[in-house]
Structure 1
Amino acid sequence: MSAAHRLLVLSGGHPYEAEPFAALLASLDGWAVTHLIHPEAEAAVGAGAADDADAILFYDMPGYSFEGGRAVTRPPSFAYRRAIAHHFARGGGAVAMHHAIAGWAEWPEWAAMIGGRFLYAPGEANGERHLDSGYRHDVRYDAVVLDPGHPVTAGLPPRFPLRDELYLAPVWGAVTPLLRADHRFVRDNFYSAAEAVAGRMFSNSGWDHRPESDLIAWEKPVGNGRLVYIQPGDGPAAYADPNLRRLIANALGHVAAA
């Protein structure tokens, strides 16, 4: 891939280990990387930081503050929303990783772009009411390739092991399935996000969440571009995994070619 390809990386709003994540970004051959961190990233994007990006890597979870045992949310600025919509309208692409599926709870169009939503509190997603979503850290599972002929999965083994966080959250719309997790996405295997926000980590007491999709990577069209969502990517072990690095590199190359 030519070095002329420009990648805008957005992070912040959710904790992560900066040095291992920087090593992941450094492994992306052929990309000129600009990394912006919220809250400054929102203003920078609104002022034009995404205007010449071939692809955006969303590793952010903006629009939240956690206060008094609850999640307080706000929408993005009009300028930010306009800039992201313009990026896709002109054929720009994006990869959204891991907790990006939870970002901007008060911007429904963001969930529609991704094709899923992680909820920190009971609420609406895709026109339906949902309980708060589920999480489970340090799950050992196999990722299973669903479309071996797709550019995003090129070069990956048919299945490969990961140790990472999984989400129990709704997925919808015209998504192209790429990977699934060999794991049961049912209430007993996850903990309540709302309970965690309230200070009761690793609890699913009184939380009767329905089963959800086992998809952990998919593609969908957005405007004149496309977006690939990749659920793996919680921490250093995932950042360093060679199969996950290949998946991310493939996905970025694919969406930049839109």
Structure 2
Amino acid sequence: MARPLLVLSGGHPYEEAPFSGLLDSLEGWDVTHLVHPEAEAMVAGGAADDAEAILFYDMPGYAFSDGTVTSRPPSDGFKAAIRRHFGSGRGAVTMHHALAGWADWPDWAEMVGGRFLYQPGEVRGREVLDSGYRHDVRYTAEICADHPVTRGLPETFELIDELYLAEIFEDDVEPLIRARHDFTADNFYSAAHAVAGRMFDNRGWAHPRGSNFVAWTKRVGDAPLVYLQFGDGPKTYRNPHVRQLLRNALDHVAGHDPTIGAEGAGT
């Protein structure tokens, strides 16, 4: 019997048909795909309550207009539904721009294990600069953990995808994959500059060196969460290694790891 999977998207542009192809490749899952802004109210109303896992490919809580960005927190009902999901021991996979979601809900960053900022702000009581982005980076992904999520993957594989220079809570996550790339300001562009209409610009932006983690796992209470930074567009959606990672990650957070015995299931 197919397992119920809730997929959330919206708040950030993406190519819908290729992304649907990625979802269609998830054998064994009964997919319900909700898109913001309607998704927020539907989750608050109970849409996530029966899901064995949630796939977050969304970036809600922002409004971009005339060179400015404003943000807001989710509704109390949405917050309660997400906490209820994790509190039941059921997990989630977060992909790509989900790292930037809900800028005004600090608990979200703690759940995911990091935060991408579109403007300078405060993270964990510390003032930080806006984050960085770089599209179409050709790089090598290197497996750095023997884990059910990386099962069946080669030790290294090649990608052409977007990378982030963001706030990653390295001490709170278990790294699964690192990118062989130099995570310095010279190799990224300022998100705040992009919001202001100056795309692909890093002038005067002195962001400190960042983390090379591009996939990790952590706990949200008693529930597992996996973050995969991969996912900027169709080339990545079609990548067989990314598809394998996503299948493995969903199995893991739903407690269906065939590589572990019943005693360790869901851990």
Question: How would you bin the TM-score normalised by the shorter chain?
Answer: over 0.9
Aligned to 2:124: 126
Alignment of 1:23-34 (within 5 A): 23-34=21-32
Greater Cα shift, 168-177 or 239-248: 168-177
Equivalence for 1:85:
83
In the alignment, which of 197, 205, 208 is matched to residue 210 of structure 1? Answer: 208
Q: Give the partner amino acid of 1:181.
A: A
| Residues 213-237 of structure 1: CA deviation (Å, up to 9, x unaligned) | 0000000000221110000100000
Q: Which residue of 2 aligns with 1:95?
A: 93
- Which residues in structure 2 correspond to 1:25-64 (within 5 Å)? 25-64=23-62
> 2:250 aligned to 230, 249, 252, which one?
252
Q: How far does residue 71 in structure 1 lie from its aligned partner after superposition?
A: 1.0
Shift of 1:86: 0.5
* Matching residue within 14, 18, 22 for 2:20: 22
Instruction: Report if aligned partners of 1:216, 1:232 keep a CA contact under 8 Å in 2.
Output: yes
1:158 aligns with 2:155: yes
Length-normalised TM-score, structure 2: 0.94
2:172 counterpart SS class: coil
Counterpart contact for 1:121–1:193, Cα < 8 Å: yes
Residues 142-221 of structure 1 aligned to structure 2 (within 5 Å): 142-147=140-145, 149-172=146-169, 173-221=171-219
Q: Distance between the aligned counterparts of 1:116 and 1:126, measured in 2?
A: 10
Partner Cα separation in structure 1 for residue 239 and residue 196 of structure 2: 33
For 1:192 and 1:180, the matched residues in 2 are separated by: 22
Assess if the C-alpha contact under 8 Å between 1:112 and 1:126 holds in 2: no
SS state at 1:204 partner: coil
Deviation at 1:67, TM superposition (A): 1.5
Query: Per the alignment, in what secondary structure is the counterpart of residue 109 of structure 2?
Result: helix
Deviation at 1:68, TM superposition (A): 2.2
How far off its partner does 1:256 sit? 0.5
How many positions carry a matched residue from both structures? 255
Give the share of equivalent positions with the same residue, in percent: 63
* Unaligned segments of structure 2, at least 5 residues: 256-265
Contact 1:58–1:100 (Cα < 8 Å) also in 2:
yes
What SS does the aligned partner of 1:157 have?
A: coil
User: C-alpha distance in 1, partners of 2:186/2:20?
Assistant: 35
CA distance in 2, matches of 1:225, 1:28: 21
Cα distance in 1 between the residues matched to 2:8 and 2:174: 24
Specify the SS of the correspondent of 1:47.
helix
Q: Any idea what SS the aligned residue of 1:249 has?
A: helix
RMSD over equivalenced CA pairs, Å: 0.7
Partners of 1:67 and 1:83 in 2: CA distance: 30
Per the alignment, residue 109 of structure 1 pairs with: 107
Q: Deviations over 1:25-71 (max 9, x none)?
A: 00001000000000000000000000010000000000001012111
Name the SS of the counterpart of 1:254 in structure 2.
Answer: helix
TM-score between both structures, scaled by the size of structure 1: 0.98
CA deviation string 1:74-123 (max 9, x = no partner): 11000000000000000110000000000000000000001100000000
CA deviation after TM superposition for structure 1 residue 124, in Å: 1.1
> Counterparts of 1:72 and 1:14 in 2: how far apart (Å)?
14
Structure 1: segments with no counterpart, 5+ residues: none
Letter in 1 for 2:167: P
Instruction: Tell me what 1:136 maps to.
Output: 134
Which letter maps to 2:231?
G
